[in-house]
Each structure stands twice: as C-alpha cells, then as structure tokens.
Amino acid sequence: MTPMSSRLTRMVQTSLTIKVFTICFVSVHVPLLVFIAYLAGGYAAKAEPVLLLLLGATVAGTAICLLSLWWMIRPLRQLAYAIRNYRANGTPVRVQVTSKDEIGLLASTVTDMVAETEALMTKLRHQAMTDLLTGLGNRRWLNERAAEELSRAERQGEPLSIIVLDLDRFKGINDGHGHETGDRVLVATGEIVRTCLRSYDLAARIGGEEFCILLPRTSLDEAESIAERLRTTLAATTVPPLRQGRMTASFGICAASAGDRLPDMQLRADFALYEAKRDGRNCIRRAHDSNADEAIASATLAPVKTPSPVNGTHIL
C-alpha cells in the first residue's frame, strides 16, 4: 500500500465527516449509477422499465444510507444505554468500541471517564468510612454495619456481642513521649486488633484512644475470650521508647439484648469499661443487664474520659 493510499485510508477511518459524506454521496447517486449501468448494458430506454429501475435504485440507496448511518452511531446508543443503567443501579459502563472516528473517541473517552469517576468515588467512600491512622473502620462505618448485623442477629436468633477498649493512660504517652509515639501506639493497636479477630468481626476506632469491636455470632463468654487475647497481646507488645507492659488497655464487653441498638450496647460496655479502669486498668469487665439502668442514668453525668460514675475519681 502506497503512503498516499495509507494516508487516505487513515483519514476515512478517523473522520466521521468523511464517512458521512461518502455514504450520503454514494447513496444519493445509486439511481444514477444504476441507470448508467442499465444503458451500458444495451437495454432499451423504455419509460416503464426505467421508472421501475430508478424507483428500486432509490429505495436501495436510501436503505444503504440509513443502515450505514445506523451502524455508525451504534456506539452512541450503547453508550447512552450503559450510562442510563449506571445512573439507575450503578452498573459499570462497558462499551466495546472498534471505530476510530469521533464517535469511537467520544464513546471510549466517556467510558474511561466514568470508570475513573467510579474509582475515585470508591476511594472517597473508603476514606469516609476508614480511620486513616489505624486502617480500621471509623464510627460512621461501624454504625452502618452494626445496624445490619443487629437486625440479622435478631432475625436469625443468633448472639452478638461488642468489645469496647480504651488504652490506659494514653494521655501520659502523648505528654511524656510525644504524639508521634502516641500515633505508633494507635497503629500497633489497630494491627493487633486486626490480627486477633476473625474475618467476620468488625472493628473501628471510635475515639482518640478508644476502639469498638462488633462480634457477630458471639456469646458474652466468647467475647471475653477474644478480649483476653487482645489484652494479653497488647500488654506483651513494645513500642519504643515505651517499656514492655506500658501499652495496656481496659475492656468493657456487652451482649446484645432484644431490640438493642449499637448506642445502647456501647453505653453498657462503657459502664463496664469504667469498672475496669476503677479496678486497676488492664482488665476486662462485663456489662450485665442489671447495670443498664445505672449506665443510662450515669451517661449524662459521666461520659467516656470523665470522672467515673462509680466514685467520682478520674480513672483513665
């Protein structure tokens, strides 16, 4: 193929204008071309056969034009259908485009832009639901997932428990060793939480040094075993320049009752956490149903990280 013919072929492939012009030009002149071919064949130019021939050629030329244009704009229809589905139900935009003209460029560009936008939105949704320091979920994420898990547990009659843990004397770590050390302690805690939990457990950092773990299909006894594993692992972990045993946490655990919401469970678990702080820290305390009223009554008087509702002494 000569360079000139190659250049012309590339122009035809990449130019929608040339394609449309060529199709329209050929389609309009089909009757003329057929009539010339008819006369060149030596047929007599009688009125009736010529009229029928021109009519058939006109219909054929029109059909060729419409079908060609229909085929050319097919990617636009596919793109519009894919975008409509994407807006309706989030189905990814997938359009196979082989043409290299402006329509093909538009379809492929829009497909790529929608894919990039979806990837960015997925990243933003992940960031909105994730604690960036520890990599665990955040309070918003836990609230959404907890509603689903509590509903499923009540529907299927399965136990569900939560663990609330708070690092002991964390303010002293920040004040004595700097916030960078404090951040390393939080990161190490997040890693320990991930390592000690099962694949279906849900963990989130819900405050400065406070974490909440939702345990589906888990009784209070099983939750206590998991909390003990976390407690001993934390106590055995060293984050320089802290000495071993300085990185500890106090735990409150609570089992779901009928009709419970996550804030209800967290309130009872927080009260058990206060008891763990009062009893010397680095220990686990259970929330019992008998403590529920007391926890609710004390919530307005002693939120987390304030003086204990038990004896008024600062216990963190």
Catalytic residue numbers, as ranges:
209
How far, in Å, CA of 252 to CA of 88, rounded?
Answer: 44
What residues have CB less than 8 Å from 164, skipping those under 6 apart? 210, 211, 212, 213, 251, 252, 253, 254, 266, 269, 270, 272, 273
Other CB atoms closer than 10 Å to residue 254's CB: what's the count? 30
**Terminal Cα-to-Cα distance of the chain (whole angstroms):** 84
Q: Residues 251, 252, 255, CA angle at the centre, nearest 5°?
A: 135
27-40 burial by CB neighbour count: b if 16+ within 10 A, else e? beebbeebeeebee
Q: Of 112, 70, 230, which is closest to residue 166 (Cα–Cα)? A: 230
Distance of CA 70 to CAs 102, 109, 233, Å?
15, 21, 68
